[in-house]
């Protein structure tokens, strides 16, 4: 299928589709449609005229966080996660910033490992990353989703931190 990668924001209709899809994925705590629309750094994978996948990231002064990598269920199995991850890696090739992802997703773990990321812990992250993570999680919606998914997907495992140190 013909696909394109576009740096753009999601519209509200697309954001609602992705937000609903996220509710069925054990390893993503949750995003409201309004939050997805507001994300400043978004790469959208379009297949035909449909938004098939997204990759969102935070580009802070001293780190880059891979916030969200999601391919909608009907578009999975075509290598689109790798395509999005490779695009992300190219964007920050040679970066002097720490790059990290927090995930339960085995595909993201595999892609990160293949790209030279190493498993880490929350406590090993720089203070700015820890504060960023805490600020993200302080949301009644995310807390409720976290609890809902703990019971719905009891074998989901723990979130893992994958870190790529800067090229210095």
Domain ranges of the chain: 3-164
H helices within the chain, ranges in order? 12-23, 33-38, 80-91, 106-114, 127-137, 140-152
Say if residue 168's pLDDT is above 60: no
pTM for the full predicted model: 0.89
**62-106 confidence digits (pLDDT tens):** 999 999 999 999 999 999 999 999 999 999 988 899 999 998 888
Residue that has been written with the tokens 């629309």 in this structure: 37
The pLDDT score that the predictor gives to residue 83 is 94
The pLDDT score that the predictor gives to residue 166 is 86
Domain 3-164 homologous superfamily, CATH:
Gcn5-related N-acetyltransferase (GNAT) (3.40.630.30)
The pLDDT score that the predictor gives to residue 56 is 92
Q: What is the mean pLDDT of residues 138-157?
A: 84
The pLDDT score that the predictor gives to residue 40 is 85
Burial of 77 (0-12, 13-18, 19+ CB in 10 A): exposed
Q: For strand 98-103 and strand 63-71, is the pairing parallel, antiparallel, or unpaired?
A: parallel
């Amino acid at each position: 299928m013909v696909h394109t990668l576009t740096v753009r924001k999601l519209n509200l209709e697309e954001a609602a589709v992705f937000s609903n899809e996220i509710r069925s994925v054990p390893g993503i705590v949750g995003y409201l449609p309004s939050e997805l629309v507001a994300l400043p750094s978004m790469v959208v994978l379009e297949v035909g005229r449909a938004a098939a996948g997204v990759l969102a990231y935070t580009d802070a002064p001293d780190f880059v966080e891979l916030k969200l990598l999601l391919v909608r269920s009907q578009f999975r199995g075509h290598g689109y996660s790798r395509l999005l991850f490779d695009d992300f890696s190219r964007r920050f090739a040679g970066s002097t910033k720490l790059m990290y992802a927090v995930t339960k997703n085995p595909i993201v773990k595999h892609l990160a490992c293949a790209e030279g990321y190493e498993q880490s812990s929350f406590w090993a992250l720089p203070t700015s990353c820890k504060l960023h993570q805490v600020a993200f999680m302080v949301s009644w919606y995310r807390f409720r989703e976290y609890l809902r998914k703990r019971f719905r997907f009891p074998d989901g495992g723990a979130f893992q931190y994958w870190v790529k140190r800067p090229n210095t």
